[in-house]
């Protein structure tokens, strides 16, 4: 199982390849939240999401022979761009399997970084199956978005920065998609501060880890419907489920309407462009799901800011109305 030393090693490896994103104070939400609100904006990474951390750690760990063979990944967009950017910097050929409904901005961004793209399926299980087939056919090294220990270790470096910038943070709230980010963050945070509370947030339409926790085993759900494309997976990864059960204290879920309100709140209050998946933590705050953290210093992790701006305009309009209802309640 992933341990703190793996994440410390990753930090040393990727230090010159990623941004140490700032820890922002969002005091405008303190009264509503009942705790001191901090934000970790991973949307400010050069590729627009935290995924650059894990991709860089994985690719920097490859042997020369593996680099020559090239890499392959499956992603709805942010991991795709992280792998493409890391591969371009290291001169490694990259192939990415993306879902047919991937946001056009993410597809274009991946191609602009030099990676080849194959569009396949809609669900995470479908594109990962195709990734495995192509890896076997072409001899490429798989850079799994959330079930690779080196990738998870890279993602966890964000928690080291959070506690370095504000050691008194007592809780971290982060989005949960495949489970790689929350696994890395929880391992790093609790490895340095065992008393810290770790909270994961999923969209209600794709809450496979929350459902799996209730069932006591990793589940595959029938459908995954949410505007949060980065978390639109349909199964809980067996590689991450035990770690999440051990190190993530709470799992909550939020409706898409709350995601829209959170997207608008970030734009209005913090001047940050945040995609739906990245807004999950704030959506949990706005929905009242974090009341058990009252009186603490809490960090909300923004996982990314890559989105379709036509949809963004729609979400802002809906979000403004939804946030007004919340603030006036």
Residues acting as catalytic residues = 51, 303
For helices 309-327 and 256-265, angle between their N-to-C axes, nearest 10 degrees:
90
For helices 51-60 and 149-165, angle between their N-to-C axes, nearest 10 degrees:
130
DSSP H or E segment with residue 203:
strand 197-203
Cα separation, 135 vs 150, whole angstroms: 18
**Residue of 282, 299, 204, 300 whose CA lies nearest to 32:** 282
Cα separation, 213 vs 282, whole angstroms: 22
Q: Under a CB-based contact definition with an 8 Å cutoff, are residues 213 and 200 in contact?
A: no
Q: Under a CB-based contact definition with an 8 Å cutoff, are residues 248 and 173 in contact?
A: no
Q: Under a CB-based contact definition with an 8 Å cutoff, are residues 249 and 230 in contact?
A: no
DSSP H or E segment with residue 94:
strand 94-98
Cα separation, 112 vs 104, whole angstroms: 12
Angle at 268 between CA 267 and CA 273, to 5 degrees: 5
β-pairing verdict for 250-254 and 197-203: parallel
Distances (CA, A) of 168 to 36, 157, 208, 284, 298: 11, 17, 31, 21, 9
Distances (CA, A) of 153 to 55, 150, 182, 243, 310: 10, 5, 11, 13, 34
């Amino acid at each position: 199982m992933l341990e703190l030393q793996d994440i410390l090693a990753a930090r040393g490896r990727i230090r010159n390849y990623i941004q140490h994103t700032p820890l922002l104070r969002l005091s405008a939400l303190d009264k509503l939240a009942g705790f001191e609100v901090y934000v970790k904006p991973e949307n400010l990474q050069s590729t627009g999401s935290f995924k650059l951390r894990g991709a860089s750690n994985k690719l920097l760990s490859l042997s020369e022979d593996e680099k020559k063979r090239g890499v392959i990944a499956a992603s709805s967009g942010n991991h795709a761009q992280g792998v493409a950017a890391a591969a371009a910097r290291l001169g490694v050929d990259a192939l990415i399997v993306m879902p047919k409904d991937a946001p056009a901005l993410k597809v274009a961004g991946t191609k602009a970084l030099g990676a080849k793209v194959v569009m396949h399926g809609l669900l995470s299980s479908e594109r990962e199956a195709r990734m495995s087939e192509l890896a076997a056919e072409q001899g490429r090294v798989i850079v799994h978005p959330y079930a690779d220990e080196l990738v998870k270790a890279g993602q966890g470096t964000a928690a080291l920065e959070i506690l370095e910038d504000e050691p008194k943070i007592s809780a971290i709230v982060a989005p949960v998609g495949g489970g790689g980010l929350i696994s890395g963050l929880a391992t790093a945070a609790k490895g340095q501060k065992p008393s810290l509370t770790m909270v994961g947030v999923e969209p209600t339409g794709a809450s496979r880890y929350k459902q799996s926790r209730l069932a006591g085993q990793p589940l595959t759900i029938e459908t995954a419907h949410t505007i949060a494309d980065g978390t639109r997976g349909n199964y809980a990864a067996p590689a991450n489920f035990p770690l999440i059960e051990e190190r993530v204290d709470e799992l909550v879920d939020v409706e898409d309407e709350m995601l829209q309100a959170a997207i608008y709140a970030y734009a209005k209050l913090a001047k940050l462009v945040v995609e739906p998946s990245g807004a999950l933590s704030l959506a949990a705050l706005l929905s009242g799901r974090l009341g058990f953290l009252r009186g603490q210093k809490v960090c909300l992790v923004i996982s990314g800011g890559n989105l379709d701006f036509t949809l963004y305009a729609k979400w802002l309009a809906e979000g403004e109305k939804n946030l007004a209802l919340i603030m006036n309640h």
